Structure 1
Amino acid sequence: MAWDEGLAQVLRDDLADLPIREQKMFGGLCFLMNGNMLCGIHKGGTMFRVGKPNMAAALAVPGAGPMTFTGKPMGGIIEFSLEATADDARRGTVLALALGFVKTLPAK
């Protein structure tokens, strides 16, 4: 498995009351809401789709950085360290930003 299953369970618990579907993507596990990627976990950490309007707030959270999965920054998506993801307060902050953004997207 290319990701930490315990950390995946933490995200599952955080998202338990929401209409979330899991899908293996990008060598990891993504969590989708209404068909839109919300967050995901991979070997090196997690990622959250916070949207471009929330990037500055998300990047201000310790442990967050721009997602450079393709070698260049991906707009609206942050990379989150394993240490930061394990911290309930920091994870909760970026998850709230991601949920706020993804809820505005049309269902797929």
Structure 2
Amino acid sequence: MAYDEGLAELMRGDLEGRPGIMEKKMFGGLAFMLYGNMLCGVTSHGAMFRVGRDRIDEAMEIPGTGPMEFTGKPMGGMVAADEEAMADDDLRGTLMALAFAHAESLPAK
């Protein structure tokens, strides 16, 4: 399963210069980690953001988002973002900010 390299480059640009960011290939996609905790990623179906359970409702109000599913089951605290949400700098930035808020609340791994 391949991921969209264009989306990966878009996320790399958003994350450039931020300390603690690493890339990790996972489940046929590409995850971006903040000090070892998943922040966001790119799959064969688009993008995903780990916003945490306490921010999921806020993230799901953003146009172009929906539940992130893996093997047909929703993943808690994760949202999927479609191409339109990813193409909009403001929407993508809001999702990234929610993901950073969650990841920064976790201890480094």
TM-score interval, smaller chain: over 0.9
Stretches of structure 2 that go unaligned for 5 or more consecutive residues are: none
RMSD of Structure 2 on Structure 1 (CA): 1.1
Whether the aligned pair in 2 keeps the contact of 1:44 and 1:82 (CA below 8 Å) is: no
Counting only pairs closer than 5 Å after superposition, residues 1-108 of structure 1 correspond to structure 2 as 2-18=2-18, 19-108=20-109
CA distance in 2, matches of 1:69, 1:63: 18
Q: TM-score, normalization: structure 2?
A: 0.94
* Mapped partners of 1:36, 1:28: distance in 2: 16
Report SS of the residue matched to 1:57.
helix
Gaps (5+ residues) in structure 1? Answer: none
Following TM superposition, by how much is the alpha carbon of 1:44 offset from its aligned partner in structure 2, in angstroms?
1.0
**Conserved? CA contact 1:7–1:86, under 8 Å:** no
Taking only the aligned residue pairs, the percentage that are identical comes to: 56
Q: Distance in 1 between matches of 2:7 and 2:107?
A: 28
Bigger share in strand: 2
Question: So what's the TM-score if we normalise by structure 1?
Answer: 0.95
The structure 1 segments of at least 4 consecutive aligned residues displaced by more than 3 Å after TM superposition are: none
For residue 39 of structure 1, report the CA deviation from its aligned partner.
0.3
Helix, strand or coil for the counterpart of 1:32? strand
Instruction: State whether residues 28 and 43 of structure 1, in contact with CA within 8 Å, keep that contact through their aligned partners in structure 2.
Output: yes
